[in-house]
Amino acid sequence: MAAASLLCFADRMAGTRRSPLADLSLTPALLDTLRKYHSQQYGPRVVSATVWDWATSGGGRAEHILGRMRLPGVDSDPHILCFGPALNRRFFYCFARAHAVVPYRVEEERVYVYDPNYPRDRGRFVEFRRDSGSVGFAYGGFREGWGITLVFIRG
């Protein structure tokens, strides 16, 4: 859904008018389109880049997210933020419950996001905070025990 929301945004920026995804009926054609864009996140280049980012960040640590994040409307290949496993005993629990959101605005230590689970809530944000030299994050139930990584959608 995060990838599909970026498609909808890109269409609007190009002048193509489509209804917001949240307003569409769940038809077989819409499901096919959503699957197509969701599957782009599983292309070999995307998976390799995501795994590389996760590994080089020490298992999804948040220290370098803010300085590298690409936003829709600003950058040609924007990122999706993915909450997933950190390197700890909860790895498989977190892996099975991974979630993706689309960042669209950065204000100081907050990254405002579009969350497909809350399509009409424009006030959702990921909070980044510095604690004794490291950077942590919080978003809903995603915080300690979770990792965060950048994912681009073009494969």
Question: Per-residue pLDDT tens for 45-69?
Answer: 777 877 888 788 777 788 878 888 8
- Parse the chain into domains and list their residue ranges: 42-152
pTM: 0.74
Question: Per-residue pLDDT tens for 75-97?
Answer: 777 888 888 888 888 888 887 88
Q: Specify the pLDDT at position 144.
A: 75
DSSP state of 140: T
Instruction: Name the β-bridge partners of 79.
Output: 152
Laid out side by side, the sheet with 79-85 consists of: 134-138, 125-131, 110-114, 99-107, 79-85, 146-152
Instruction: Please determine, for residue 124, whether its predicted confidence score (pLDDT) is greater than 90.
Output: yes
